[in-house]
Structure 1
Amino acid sequence: MQANREMMNEACRLITHAGIKLKENFGCCDSRCKSNPHDLVTDLDRSTEEFLNTELERLYPEIGFEGEEFGLARAGSGDSRWLADPIDGTFHFVKGIPHATTMLALLENGVVTLGVIYNFVTHELFTALRGGGAYRNGERIHVSDQPLHGSCVSVEIRRDRDYAANREFYYRIHDRTMIYHTLNCGYEFGLVASGKLDGRICYQPWGTHLDFASGSLLVHEAGGIVSNIGKDRQYDVMDLDLLAVNPAIYRDLTEGDQALFPIEPLLFSIDPV
């Protein structure tokens, strides 16, 4: 199966319907800790994921489903599965900060072919079909053309892991650009695809493929470059170190003596036929 407009319409219908209840409970919802005091979960995280799983199984029983809260709920009968994050930014949701989103992507044979990010507070619906462009509320969007100098990018890097090295690397990036970070993947990917932020860098990030799948396609379809770090415009959704940036910043980050993320040389070459 290949993602199509009908599937996009159904995904948008479900995600916006789920957003009605989320909006009603925005900023006034009880929560509990998962791994740390800032990693929260609510009953709505779980019920929203269950709703999406149930409805998508009814519509597309052959497609598997994997979510943030329950993991792989259904394997499906082929090489396709939905990837869902019911509330990306639960901390923001609980605190009443309007950066929380719901995300849904379709992964087919390892490639993201459909992505939806919905900010249920501001009613911003970001959509992308592979090969079909990126949209915000039905209007075409595009990444910026700002080079690294003078740019503003989001950086997600775990400074609690390899602390000294990662802290130094963070400040090397900081020396080259202004850093903007809300701790919310979906919200920031939407900003990059709209040209309001100039890029997003993920290096040993907190997030998982569920956090990055929808946004990676959105930025790609908005004219950006999404590439795993060290690879030349190659992207594997399961590899979490990635650049999602405009073309000018991609060149600045990967080319020349000052490149922060130089392309790794191939270990072998293939002789031309």
Structure 2
Amino acid sequence: MTDLSRLLNIANEAVDIGRKAAVTQELGTVTSKGDRDMASEVDFAVEQAIRSHLASVTPEIEFLGEEEGRSGDDSGDLLWVLDPIDGTANFVHGIPLVAISLGLVAGDSSLAGVIDMPFLGRRYSASRGSGAYCNGQEIRASKCDRLEDAIVAIGDYAVGDGAPERNISRLTLTSLLAAKVQRVRMLGTAATDLAWVADGSLDASIMFNNKPWDTSAGVLIAREAGAQVLDVDGTQHTFNSRGTVAVAAPIGAELLTLIAEAER
């Protein structure tokens, strides 16, 4: 049986190591990863520090990092998934909305997660069945029951090949939300979106994509805090989902209706 309490402690220790690198390492060279996407030397330093630590203490668990891919023993059922700096564009521009996101996945679902916001002094964590916490205090998702009272975050617009076509639904949704909700926000970090749905700062977060390093930790934290976490088609969210919607349960159905309208 997987000892989630032990593994969550290990995840916290690993993120502590990554956090130190994030706040002390010089920005250094910023490397292009394609159209308007980038990685800094800090991204690589944080990933290498966490990857090395986890390889030492959990050699039986494979590792997937955003910057350098997979490593370790792939014969088991478990996988660490890391975004070393979620919100690199924010980080490069000195915007403190940045997160280190480390999830533990089995198959297509998350078992544990840690999200650290090194420049805001917040640490979110959860393991399956044990609730969600911020700086050691239990958190609960919003109970917002009217869309017009909701603050809703949306993911970044698409860049790269096919971006104009992929942005049609995103821009349509932005317009639909602007006419319905209290405010629309784009924070530039998926992990922060999901953590803030978990603690009730946001009433919903919508992303038309699902990169596992962005979402594996936050999906579990939001779920443990009582939020609905779904694919954009309304099915339960998994590691292989197309998109990611985290929402206060009372407004979930109405929000999904707007998403479906945008996609049409």
Report the equivalent of 1:21. 21
> What is the RMSD of the two structures over their aligned residues, measured on CA atoms?
1.9
Letter in 1 for 2:34: S
Distance in structure 2 (CA, Å) of the matches to 1:22 and 1:169:
34
- Residue among 217, 235, 245 paired with 1:214: 217
Question: Aligned match of 2:58 in 57, 60, 78?
Answer: 60
Relative to total residues, which structure has the larger helix share, 1 or 2? Answer: 2
Q: Segments of 4+ in structure 1 off by > 3 A? A: 163-166
Give the Cα–Cα distance (whole angstroms) in 1 for the partners of residues 246 and 124 of structure 2. 16
Q: In the TM superposition, what are the counterparts of 1:70-89 in structure 2 within 5 Å?
A: 70-89=68-87
Conserved in 1, the CA contact under 8 Å of 2:230 and 2:244? yes
Kindly indicate whether the alpha-carbon contact (under 8 Å) linking 2:17 and 2:50 is maintained by their aligned counterparts in 1. Answer: no
Contact 1:12 1:116 in 2 (8 A): yes
Gaps of 5+ in 1: 263-273
Shift of 1:154: 0.6
- Corresponding position: 1:187 with 2:185: no
Structure 1 distance, partners of 2:189, 2:3, is: 26
Could you say which residue in structure 2 is the equivalent of 1:244?
246
Tell me: CA distance 1:45–1:92, structure 2 relative to 1, closer, same or farther (3 Å): same
Corresponding residue for residue 271 of structure 1:
none
3-state SS, counterpart of residue 80 of structure 2: strand
1:7 is the counterpart of 2:7: yes
Asked whether the equivalents of residues 83 and 102 of structure 2 are also in contact (C-alpha less than 8 Å), the reply is yes
> In structure 2, what residue type is equivalent to 1:180?
R
Tell me the percent identity: 26
> Counterpart in 1 of 2:98?
100
Distance 1:260 1:169 in 2: 7
Residue 222 of structure 2 aligns to which amino acid in structure 1?
Answer: V
**How far did 1:237 drift?**
1.6
What is the identity, as a one-letter code, of the residue corresponding to 2:35?
A: N
State how far apart, in whole Å, the 2-side matches of 1:122 and 1:226 are.
Answer: 25
Contact 2:60-2:72 at 8 Å conserved across structures? no
Query: For the structure 1 residues 161 and 132, does the alpha-carbon distance in structure 2 shift closer, same or farther, using more than 3 Å as the test?
Result: farther
Kindly indicate whether the alpha-carbon contact (under 8 Å) linking 1:209 and 1:240 is maintained by their aligned counterparts in 2: no
Distance 2:170 2:108 in 1: 29
Q: Which amino acid aligns with 1:246?
A: A
Q: Which shows bigger deviation, 50-59 or 209-218?
A: 50-59
1:261 Cα offset (Å)? 4.3
2:175 maps to amino acid? Y
Label 1:3 to 1:215 Cα distance change in 2 as closer, same or farther (>3 A): farther
1:165/1:68 Cα in 2 relative to 1: closer, same or farther (>3 Å)? closer
Shift of 1:94: 2.0
Structure 1 contact 75–81 (Cα < 8 Å) conserved? no
Q: Give the structure, 1 or 2, with the largest relative contact order (CA under 8 Å, sep 6 or more).
A: 2
In structure 1, the residue corresponding to 2:10 is in which secondary structure?
helix
Residue 170 (1) aligns with residue 168 (2): no
| Matching residue's letter, 2:18 | A
- Displacement of 1:29 in angstroms is 4.2
Residue 205 of structure 2 aligns with an amino acid whose one-letter code is R
Per-residue CA distance 1:200-255 (angstroms, 9 max, x = gap)? 0112x3x51210111111110111000112234x122221312101101213224x
Q: TM-score, normalised by structure 2?
A: 0.88
* Correspondence for 2:152: 153
Give ranges in structure 2 of 5+ residues lacking alignment: none
Q: Which of 207, 223, 226 is the equivalent residue of 2:226?
A: 223
State the distance in 2 between where 1:165 and 1:64 align: 35
What displacement does 1:81 show?
A: 0.7
Measured in 1, the distance between the counterparts of 2:65 and 2:30 equals 19
Report which stretch shifted further, 128-137 or 243-252.
243-252
For residues 198 and 50 of structure 1, the distance between their equivalents in structure 2, rounded to whole angstroms, comes to 34
Question: SS at the partner of 2:222?
Answer: helix
Aligned letter for 1:156?
G
Match of 1:265 in 2: none
The structure with more radius of gyration: 1
64 and 164 in structure 1: CA distance in 2 versus 1, 3 angstrom threshold: closer
